[in-house]
Amino acid sequence: MESLDSEKKLIENILAGNPDEFRVLINQYKKLVSHILFRLISNQNDRDELSQEIFIKIYENLKSFKFQSKLSTWIGRIAHNTCLNYLRKKRLHFYDDQINYQKDENKERNIRADIHEAKSPSFLPDEVANQSQVSSFINNEIEVLPIQYREVITLYHLDNFSIKEISEIMGVPEGTVKSHLYRSRKLLKDRLTTKYNLEELCI
């Protein structure tokens, strides 16, 4: 991550009216924006549109950034809010969209019910488990996690944000972030151990 001084210098250069300096900022933070888009938005056209919207918002609001937080946290918050607003708006037209906490809680209950059902004696775990199968199984399970869980695990594991920073980005209390992080990883582990024999997983 860039030092505070170089970030200040970069922002000054951008505000001096040179859009090409903004390219430097885009390159520094495109991974963060990409991670959030990847986990929250499934449609590629929507991702393209939103990536532009996010960076233009960053450019237009850069003069109001006063280093009260890290630049990465501030950019993460803009990306988070833009995606959520987009999903909320879209839900008005497409009722089956995902952004609904109540719906997400139901989703988690369904996952738990699946696990319970799978643990019944009639369930036979797969006989063979290889690395790529396990990998693709876990990734599929990540995709069906509730949206806020997906965002928390991405920000924590891929962008190395602390719990406090994630709570700033998502605008929720730190306790909620901790709980999402714990529950999402436990759910993934439970799904995995339900699908495969524990012995098979001792690779």
Partner 1 sequence: MYLDHLTDEQFQLYLDGLPTEGISDIEEHLKTCEECRSQLSAYKLVYKELNIEPESALLPGFENAIISRIRKKAEQKQFIRNLLTQAAMIILGSTLPLYFLLTGKISDDLNHIFVNNWFGTKHLWENVFGFIRGMNVSTELVVSALIILVVFSLIERILPFSGHRKAALFKVF
- DSSP track, 115-132: HHHHTSTT----S---HH
Q: Which of 42, 31, 29, 51 is nearest to 87 (CA)?
A: 42
Q: For residue 128, state whether it binds partner 1 (rule: CB under 8 A).
A: no
Q: For residue 118, state whether it binds partner 1 (rule: CB under 8 A).
A: no
Q: At a CB cut-off of 8 Å and minimum separation 6, what does 156 contact? A: 163, 166, 181
Binding range to partner 1, per CB under 8 A, among 2-10, 98-106, 112-120, 181-189: 181-189
Is the distance from CB of 151 to CB of 36 less than 8 angstroms?
Answer: yes
Q: Which is nearer to partner 1, 176 or 193 (CB)?
A: 193
Provide the 10 A C-beta neighbour count for residue 62: 17
Footprint of partner 1 on residues 141-170 (CB under 8 A)? 142, 153, 157-158
Q: Smallest distance, Å, CB 37 to partner 1?
A: 4
Q: How far apart are the first and last CA of the chain?
A: 35
Q: Which is nearer to partner 1, 51 or 72 (CB)?
A: 51
In 19-70, which residue ranges form alpha helices assigned H by DSSP? 19-40, 44-61
Binding test (CB under 8 A) with partner 1, winner from 8, 9, 23, 112: 23
- Binding residues for partner 1, rule: CB under 8 A, are 15-17, 19-20, 22-23, 26-27, 30-31, 33-35, 37-38, 41, 44, 47-48, 51-52, 55-56, 59, 134-135, 138-139, 142, 153, 157-158, 181-182, 185-186, 188-189, 192-193, 198-199, 201-203
